[in-house]
Amino acid sequence: MSFGAYQEKGHPMAASQGRLHGTTAVVTGASSGIGRATALRLAEEGAAVVLVARREDKIGEVADAISAQGGRAVTAALDIADADAAARAVETAVSEFGRLDILVNAAGVMLNGDTLQAELREWDAMVDVNLKGLMYMTKAALPHLLDAAKTSDRQVSDVVNISSVAGRAAAPTVAIYNATKFGVTAATESWRQEYTRSNVRFSVVEPGAVDTGLFGHQQQHAQEQSATMFAGVEKLHPEDIADAVAYIATSPRRRAVNEMVVRPTDQA
């Protein structure tokens, strides 16, 4: 694990005047895809961002991009499937920026394929990252989010969990990924009910097909199946989901977005 700080360089940016100015966000999976796009988007809105992922070089690049635009970011290179490491990521936000207002659980693994051909380590990886890592991050963040909701000018804090349309409908060769994403959606709703009167908003975003590297990690048969399924479909960009997260996090206290499904226009 390592932490690297990146400070403002005097470049004018929305960071000094954005709707999230004065807040701190932790984004997991920030090295690529939806996590990366979300971190950049929240920084544009003025949030200081803690970038969490295992690939230190990649989150360093994201931090440099934020810094170059006048924003503030620190990196936390660690594995959120380790509960102690997840807790350290949250503590980094508090020690570096003095608070935590927004948690975006965007880290995800998709290793779909024929059940008989699947390796148990692939199933374990999906459960560890998609579900357990999200649980560990949320557990560690909650005390700080509750405090932010009470003491901040916004009078609200946010947890945004990135699930999937695979958390709404099951499909062949997707059993374990389905299980983790159904779990994310269910846990988010339960937490929403538990903490809604404390002004901690829990939201789940369920993307359809997004143009990220996740599809390339599946078994070859599953990759071919996906290619056929999404032939002719203009996939979403990671920035489309980042916009959805920003809409949720910048909403006034009175408005809570509980669940948002975002599919490509062409996706049935």
- Catalytic positions: 177
Distance CA 133, CA 92 (A): 17
Percentage helix, strand, coil for the chain under 3-state DSSP, each rounded to 5: 50, 15, 35
Contact 89, 76 (CB under 8 A): yes
Adjacent-strand bridge partners of 3: 76
DSSP codes joined into one string, 178-239: HHHHHHHHHHHHHHHHHHGGGTEEEEEEEE-SBSSGGGGGS-HHHHHHHHHHTTT--PBPHH
Sheet with 157-162, strands from edge to edge, namely: 2-6, 73-77, 48-53, 24-28, 102-105, 157-162, 200-207, 259-262
Decide: 167 and 181 in contact? Cβ < 8 Å.
yes
For 231, counting Cβ atoms within 10 Å of its Cβ (0-12 exposed, 13-18 middle, 19+ buried), the class is exposed
Structure token digits, residue 24: 């701190």
Q: Are 38 and 104 in contact (CB under 8 A)?
A: yes
- Token pair, residue 164, equals 């999937």
- Here the tokens at position 199 are 């002004």
